[in-house]
Amino acid sequence: MKRILSYNVNGIRSAIGKGLLDFLVTENPDIVCFQETKAQPGQMHEFDFNTLGYHSYAFSAQKLGYSGVAIFSKQVPDLVVYGMGNKKFDSEGRVIRADFGDVSVISVYFPSGTTGGIRQEYKMDFLFDFQNYLLELRKTRTKLIISGDFNICRLWIDIHNPEKQQNTSGFLPEERDWFANFIADGYVDSFREINSQAHQYSWWSYRANSRPNNKGWRIDYHMLTQNLKNNILNARILASVVHSDHCPVLVDMDI
């Protein structure tokens, strides 16, 4: 079994200060996909992670203290690829891939688009370019686990008060249409294979007591290629874990 955990930590150094390392000891994932590290390689307490048995691979944004993704793994990958070969997005440190045998694990941080205008256009461009990147990748790497913050609620049950959120970035009709098309391209939402209940969220605004009242969004996913669907053992959202405005999401795989 492989336990894969994905976590938008909203600053890895901040999360470590709130007990992230102790949490990893307890949960003991084999692979951790981080998003929004907000740090450069060498600034992520790599020695502490190494003490826990993790090898660290990070792809940071050119802008300091912004964005960034990483994969920390107890097994040394066969290959690590930084970025998706697109300077427009790679400059913001949004994609990193690690290959383990015939399975590739990708940590991805989708743009948010919440400021509207140019950033929403940038987000939409990323959605289509990332999907095309995966289509090309699947010609040689057929088994993919795509873990990260997609910044989109896929279904109506994935967001608090969906009726009033349809003009909000992250739940726009065109974003949900993209997600439906993405699923149709041959991917499985691992959590929804296990749990079909509403009110299962992975992100909460810092405003208006959103988290204590569970007024949240499910925007963090482990998406799998269809050929890994039968390998899912379990999938959970760890909503009680608090180091960030997100919480970790976990999938156990028979691989």
Question: What whole-number distance in Å separates Cα of residue 219 and Cα of residue 116?
Answer: 18
Question: What whole-number distance in Å separates Cα of residue 67 and Cα of residue 203?
Answer: 16
Model's pTM, two decimal places? 0.97
Q: How many helices (H) and strands (E) does the chain have?
A: 7, 14
Report residue 189 as tokens. 């939402």
Question: What whole-number distance in Å separates Cα of residue 153 and Cα of residue 53?
Answer: 34
Active-site positions read 149
pLDDT per residue, tens digit, the chain (255 aa), is 899 999 999 999 999 999 999 999 999 999 999 999 999 999 999 999 999 999 999 999 999 999 999 999 999 999 999 999 999 999 999 999 999 999 999 999 999 988 778 999 999 999 999 999 999 999 999 999 999 999 999 999 999 999 999 999 999 999 999 999 999 999 999 999 999 999 999 999 999 899 999 999 999 999 999 999 999 999 999 999 999 999 999 999 999
Residue pLDDT, tens place only, 9-47: 999 999 999 999 999 999 999 999 999 999 999 999 999
Question: What domains does the chain contain, in order, with CATH numbers?
Answer: 2-253 (3.60.10.10)
Contact 70, 8 (CB under 8 A): no
